[in-house]
């Protein structure tokens, strides 16, 4: 089983480890991700003005590129998933918009591509049972807090493939890998995201709530499917001690990194050195990292 | 040849300001069959009516055309006037030259005058072919069916029964009482709900005119106003005839599981308002999770109401008041506890209602926070409520022991199915639709079926009792008639022409057409026919026709405008 794959800019740069671990893991599970031969920026935000057609052009071009390869498009970056999926919804529901955009991009996207998050493919197509069966080094004893962010959940009617108030997919995957996901209330709470540009303090507080709640619940690491949340939660911890004395940092991992470890893959290019809070000592201590 | 009089009304300047009424009179005077025509300032006034009656006597008129406002306004008035002077009411017709002409063609008086003449001539042709008719009567079963044994249904049943008519009261549950039976005390005086209710239940069960059927539902309904046949299941299914029906099926709360954003259905210490009522009624306020006394209790108003994106856009109306009551009742039992209420607005519209809410704030120190709750989650054994206080502009976090959701009121389970069986319409949420939002709020659009209580829309007890009394009054108004009177301007079948093909049976939207039990012809169920004419169009043999709108009559009416 092969699926067309759109990495997006984040997985191509800062989150290269997410990307490498993901491709290696999917290949090992027999669900190869095939990068689109040519792709461009997803547009980065879904325009909220209904007459803002111009901002739909970039994601439509991505869909067009996917259409040339088949009828399914896998996306790992949750932001890209959100933008492209919502663009696709709009184009499928609004023939006028589709016609306008096709005119603009001077090509013909027909609306037939199914936009899927990689976690969704793992759950629905590969199946967590199959993942479990393929696990060579179960993450026994590792307590993790699954963190989803908002991009795969909101707005629910448009993008969610999981319960938006109490998502399960990532927790269930982690169980399949042998880890122990903790029950905690902030799985889908906003990490602050771009608010960091405007108000560093507000974002730091929002991140602190999430990070500290995960630790209170007994997690040794936070595991996420969102590369933007990962960056935010990871980096915010550098200065967290200033506001919250005695704060103990906690590693924030991409789920694909743990997936790769559990599948027994070579983890050297999983981007460990790019994390602000190094996860390796914690993993090594528990015997999950050489 | 019919002798027709035409009476053109000025309606002050409403008509005469646009239409040249003198020219109209001159024109129609010349029309064949017209023996008299005149105009007058206000034809509906006493002198105007007297003028019509005098003309009928002087010119021996046997047909009257009044050119005036819409027949919805004064058709009845003028038919009565003409009848008093000896003209059959169905030979008096209205030509609408106000709503259809002067009001809409103000800018073109000439064209309006021509159109008025043509419309009047059309109606003259109609009167020429009209036959004298009399309304006919139908038998009327003076027994009522009340569906739902809550406070609405019991109130309606008691009023009807007290007036001397038999009532069958059907209740789905094993006991009477409905939602009121689940309440503890009631605003404004903290009356004990069970005591109040018990007096009603006893009155109903002891009443010689009321037959109560519990654990029973209406499974089928046939017939029409005055002559319904209802089938009821239950311990012993039976079928009976009734003349009128009161629907009083009440409401339910939106399932908590649909309110995931408030932790509904997920955390034991997040409950809905009826669960809290149950605690109050039992006299034990305890956290469901560990049985401890909750010291910090948060009420979330509009949980699922006024939320067009995720839930119901409407205001459930009853929550503001019962939340104030619940918070006060809580403080009466737990004086050192803290009660918080998150609200969007306080809607305390009723006698003494606003004062009651003010008492909650001032005498009971209930902390009202104006803002929505963003999220409710459990952590470290407590229920954390995140919200906003829009008055201070600050985000609020409450570490609560118990959260009570004032969940949206929705139609009771099965209401839509029942509505279909009764052929009564519902709104988009499944509440029963009233016939007119202002003038006919206790009637359904189906004749003989009336509405009471929260089945129509969420209501509190006094409002429910008032509507139930209104519904009972409508039933009694119907039963006060000796028999049902039906307009005679309905369809009929010419047996000689009918081939019995049955096309009209399928065409009739009112189920007023059936095949004759043994003859190969279709027959009209006169009580159900609304005179719409669908059967006339459907009939390939022209065997179907309408009284006073016959096909040849219609063709004659079209002549003047062609």
Cβ neighbours, 10 Å, residue B108: 12
Reply yes or no on whether the pLDDT at B1 is more than 90: no
Instruction: Please determine, for residue B224, whether its predicted confidence score (pLDDT) is greater than 90.
Output: no
Residues A241 and A267 in one domain: yes
Closest approach of B310 to chain A, Cα-based (Å):
10
Model pLDDT, residue B196 = 95
pLDDT at position B18 over 90: yes
Q: A12 with A110, same domain?
A: yes
The mean pLDDT value for A18-30 works out to 98
Does residue B379 belong to the interface with chain A, where contact is any CB pair within 8 Å?
yes
Q: Would the pLDDT of B426 be above 90? A: yes
Residue where a domain stops, chosen among A89, A118, A147:
A118
Which residues 6+ apart lie within 8 Å of B141 measured at CB?
B226, B227, B228, B241, B242, B243
Q: Specify if A74 maps to a domain.
A: yes
Given A91, A118, A145, the domain boundary residue is: A118
**Nearest neighbour of A213 by CB, restricted to B266, B375, B379:** B379
Query: Per the domain annotation, does A129 fall within a domain?
Result: no
Total domains in chain A come to 2
In a domain, A130, yes or no: no
In a domain, A182, yes or no: yes
Which of the four pLDDT bands, split at 50, 70 and 90, describes residue B150?
Answer: very high
Predicted local distance difference test score (pLDDT) of residue A290: 86
| End-of-domain residue from the set A84, A118, A152 | A118
Q: How many residues does chain A have?
A: 290
Mean pLDDT of B26-42: 96
Contacts of B260 in chain A (CB under 8 A): 163-166
Q: What pLDDT does residue B95 have?
A: 98
Q: Per-residue pLDDT averaged across B31-40, rounded? A: 96
Q: Is the dihedral of CA B498, B500, B504, B508 positive or negative?
A: positive
Please report, for the domain that includes residue A167, its CATH number.
3.40.50.11810
- Does residue A126 sit within a domain? no
**Cα distance from A132 to chain B (closest Cα, Å)?**
28
- A167 and A86 housed in the same domain: no
pLDDT of residue B279: 97
The chain-wide mean pLDDT, for chain A, equals 96
pLDDT for residue B89 is more than 90 = yes
Task: Identify which of A164, A185, A216 has the shortest CB distance to residue B378.
Answer: A185
Helix, strand or coil, per DSSP, at residue B448: coil
Domains and CATH numbers, chain B: 4-129 (3.40.50), 144-250+412-479 (3.50.50.60), 256-410 (3.50.50.60), 490-546 (3.30.70.20)
Tell me which residue range forms the domain holding A97: 2-118
The two structure tokens encoding residue B152: 């609405």
| pLDDT tens-digit series, residues B330-360 | 999 999 999 999 999 999 999 999 999 999 9
Q: Chain B: give the shortest CA distance to residue A185, in Å.
A: 6
Segment A65-77 mean pLDDT: 97
Distance CA(B158)–CA(B167), nearest Å, equals 9
B264 → chain A, closest CA residue: A165
Report the pLDDT value the prediction gives residue B527, as an integer from 0 to 100.
Answer: 83
Residue A128 lies in a domain: no
Residue B486 reports pLDDT greater than 90: no
State yes or no: pLDDT of B308 exceeds 90.
yes
* Pairs of residues, one from chain A and one from chain B, whose beta carbons lie less than 8 Å apart: 17
Q: Output the domain CATH number for residue A69.
A: 1.20.1050.140
- In this prediction, residue B507 carries a pLDDT of 96
The reply to whether A123 falls in a domain is no
> Do the Cβ atoms of A6 and A73 come closer than 8 Å?
yes
B139–chain A Cβ distance below 8 A for any pair: no
The distance of Cα B501 from the centroid of its chain, to the nearest Å, equals 37
User: Does A164 share its domain with A269?
Assistant: yes
Residue A194 clears pLDDT 90, i.e. is over it: no
Phi (first) and psi of residue B175, to 5 degrees: -120, 155
Answer for the pair A113, A66: CB distance below 8 angstroms, yes or no: yes
Give Dmax over CA atoms of chain A in angstroms: 58
Going by pLDDT thresholds of 50, 70 and 90, the confidence category of residue A49 is confident
Global ipTM: 0.84
Q: Are residues A179 and A85 in the same domain?
A: no
Which residue is listed with tokens 């210490």?
Answer: B269
């Amino acid at each position: 089983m092969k699926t067309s794959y759109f990495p997006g800019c984040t997985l191509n740069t800062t989150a290269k480890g997410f990307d490498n671990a993901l491709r290696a893991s999917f290949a090992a599970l027999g669900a190869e991700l095939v990068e689109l031969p040519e792709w461009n920026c997803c547009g980065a935000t879904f325009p909220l003005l209904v007459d803002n057609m111009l901002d739909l052009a970039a994601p439509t071009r991505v869909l067009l590129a996917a259409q040339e390869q088949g009828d399914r498009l896998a996306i790992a970056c949750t932001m890209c998933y959100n933008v492209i999926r919502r663009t696709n919804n709009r184009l499928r529901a609004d023939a006028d918009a589709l016609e306008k955009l096709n005119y603009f991009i001077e090509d013909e996207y027909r609306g037939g591509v199914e936009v899927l998050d990689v976690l969704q493919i793992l759950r629905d197509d590969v199946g967590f049972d199959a993942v479990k069966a393929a696990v060579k080094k179960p993450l026994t004893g590792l307590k993790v807090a699954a963190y989803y962010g908002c991009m795969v959940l909101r707005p629910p009617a448009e993008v969610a493939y999981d319960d938006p108030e109490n998502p399960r997919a990532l927790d269930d995957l982690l169980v399949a890998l042998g880890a122990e996901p903790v029950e905690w209330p902030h799985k889908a709470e906003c990490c602050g995201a771009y608010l960091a540009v405007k108000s560093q303090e507000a974002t730091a507080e929002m991140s602190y709530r999430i990070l500290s709640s995960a630790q209170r619940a007994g997690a040794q690491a936070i595991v996420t499917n969102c590369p933007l949340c990962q960056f935010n939660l990871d980096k915010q911890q550098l200065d967290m001690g200033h506001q919250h004395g005695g704060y103990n940092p906690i590693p924030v991992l991409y789920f694909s990194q743990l997936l790769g470890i559990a599948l027994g893959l070579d983890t050297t290019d999983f981007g460990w050195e790019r994390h602000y809070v190094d996860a390796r000592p914690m993993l090594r201590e528990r015997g999950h990292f050489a | 040849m019919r002798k027709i009089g035409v009476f053109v009304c000025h309606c002050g300047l409403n008509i005469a300001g646009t239409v040249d009424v003198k020219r109209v009179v001159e024109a129609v005077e010349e029309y064949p069959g017209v023996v008299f025509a005149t105009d007058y300032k206000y034809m509906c006034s006493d002198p105007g009516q007297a003028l019509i009656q005098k003309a009928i006597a002087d010119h021996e008129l046997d047909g009257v055309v009044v050119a005036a406002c819409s027949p919805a306004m004064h058709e009845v008035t003028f038919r009565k006037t003409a009848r008093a002077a000896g003209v059959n009411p169905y030979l008096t017709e209205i030509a609408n030259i106000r709503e259809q002409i002067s009001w809409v063609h103000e800018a073109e008086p000439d064209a309006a005058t021509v159109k008025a003449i043509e419309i009047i001539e059309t109606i003259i042709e109609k009167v020429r072919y009209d036959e004298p008719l009399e309304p006919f009567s139908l038998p009327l079963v003076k027994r009522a069916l009340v569906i739902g044994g809550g406070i609405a249904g019991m109130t309606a049943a008691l009023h009807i029964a007290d007036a001397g008519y038999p009532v069958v009261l059907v209740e789905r549950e094993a006991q009477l009482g409905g939602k009121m039976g689940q309440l503890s005390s009631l605003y404004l005086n903290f009356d004990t709900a069970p005591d109040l209710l018990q007096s009603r239940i006893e009155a109903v069960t002891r009443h010689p005119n009321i037959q109560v059927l519990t654990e029973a539902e209406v499974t089928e309904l046939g017939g029409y106003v005055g002559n319904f046949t209802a089938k009821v299941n239950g311990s012993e299914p039976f079928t009976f005839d009734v003349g009128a029906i009161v629907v009083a099926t009440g409401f339910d709360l939106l399932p908590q599981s649909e309110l995931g954003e408030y932790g509904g259905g997920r955390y034991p210490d997040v409950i809905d308002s009826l669960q809290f009522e149950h605690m109050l009624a039992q006299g034990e306020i305890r956290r469901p999770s560990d049985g401890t006394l909750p010291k910090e209790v948060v009420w979330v108003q509009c949980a699922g109401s006024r939320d067009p994106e995720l839930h119901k856009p409407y205001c459930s109306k009853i929550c503001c008041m019962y939340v104030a009551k619940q918070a006060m009742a809580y403080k009466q039992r737990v004086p050192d506890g803290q009660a918080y209420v998150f609200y969007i607005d306080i809607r305390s519209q009723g006698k003494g209602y606003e004062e009651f809410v003010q008492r909650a704030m001032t005498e009971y120190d209930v902390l009202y926070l104006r803002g929505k709750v963003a999220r409710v989650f459990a952590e470290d054994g407590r229920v954390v409520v995140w919200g906003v206080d829009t008055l201070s502009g600050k985000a609020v976090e409450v570490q609560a022991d118990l959260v009570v959701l004032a969940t949206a009121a929705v139609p009771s389970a099965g209401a839509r199915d029942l509505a279909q069986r009764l052929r009564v319409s519902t709104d988009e949420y499944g509440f029963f639709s009233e016939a007119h939002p202002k003038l006919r709020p206790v009637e359904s659009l189906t004749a003989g079926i009336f509405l009471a209580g929260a089945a129509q829309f969420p209501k509190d007890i006094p409002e429910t009792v008032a509507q139930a009394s209104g519904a009972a009054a409508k039933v009694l108004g119907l039963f006060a008639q000796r028999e049902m009177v039906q307009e005679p301007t309905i369809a009929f079948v010419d047996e000689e022409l009918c081939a019995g093909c049955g096309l009209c049976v399928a065409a009739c939207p009112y189920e007023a057409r059936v095949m004759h039990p043994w003859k190969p012809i279709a027959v009209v169920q006169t009580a159900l026919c609304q005179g719409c004419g669908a059967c006339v169009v459907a009939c390939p043999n022209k065997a179907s026709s309408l009284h006073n709108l016959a096909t040849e009559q219609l063709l004659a009416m079209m002549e003047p405008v062609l």
